[in-house]
Amino acid sequence: MLDIYDARPDVKRDLEIRKQINERIINSLYYILEQCDIAGFDCQIAEEKINDLDRKKKISGIIHVLHNRLLKAIEDDNQSLIINVLNSFKDLDYIEQTPRTIGLFTDGYTQSLHQFYYDTCDYGMMNTYGYHFDWGIPSKKELEHSKYAVERALNRMKEVDRDLFDEFNTLISDIIILNSPTMNAGSSLNTFGIIRMSQLREGQIWVMY
């Protein structure tokens, strides 16, 4: 039995938790796609992409984003968005690797997938706190500096606490750098596997969401 209340890193437990989360999100997507297919939507692209996922491996946090966007589109009866999300599964070409550091709307994913990520996090903020994210695209300098800083931090983590590094590497697919005047770092329920970070600049105040 997994001891989920033990805060100490445990890669064996993390692998089992990741497998369970993957199974739940994939099974949920299969059900949603089945209902979309019954409703007359073309789900072939999405089904093929889901069929290719390995439940035992790390999968992109964007799969949780697409799950959220598809549910929201169905809830709103937004047929054009349903079609857009279903077609966007073809852009999900993530290969299991150490956590990537990418820029919002800059690299790592297509523009449409970045937009879905943004919309999913904004949706969560509005539902939880009642206001929108104050995000922006990082400048080239900010992004380069942040990628370098994250790389150094992860290398240091690997040296001084291998258990913590292994846990991070097991659960996180992407670190997304953005430009925010109020946020330091955070995550969202519907973007499991993705962490967002903003570089501290002169005059910037860090708060925790």
Apex 178 CA angle, 63 and 205, nearest 5 = 130
Six token digits for residue 118: 């943004």
Residue 209: predicted pLDDT = 43
**pLDDT tens sequence for the chain (209 residues):** 566 667 788 889 999 999 999 999 999 999 999 999 999 999 999 999 999 999 999 999 999 999 999 999 999 999 999 999 999 999 998 888 889 999 999 999 999 999 999 999 999 888 888 888 888 899 998 899 899 999 999 999 999 999 999 999 999 999 999 998 777 888 988 999 999 998 766 555 555 54
Beta strands across the sheet bearing 100-103: 100-103, 174-178, 194-198, 185-186
Residue 202: predicted pLDDT = 58
Question: Who's near 26: CB < 8 A, 6+ residues apart?
Answer: 50, 53, 55
d(C-alpha 184, C-alpha 179), whole Å: 10
Residue 189: predicted pLDDT = 85
Residue 205: predicted pLDDT = 53
Query: What count of residues does the chain have?
Result: 209
Residue 195: predicted pLDDT = 96
Domains of the chain, by residue range, sit at: 11-198
- β partners of residue 177: 103, 197
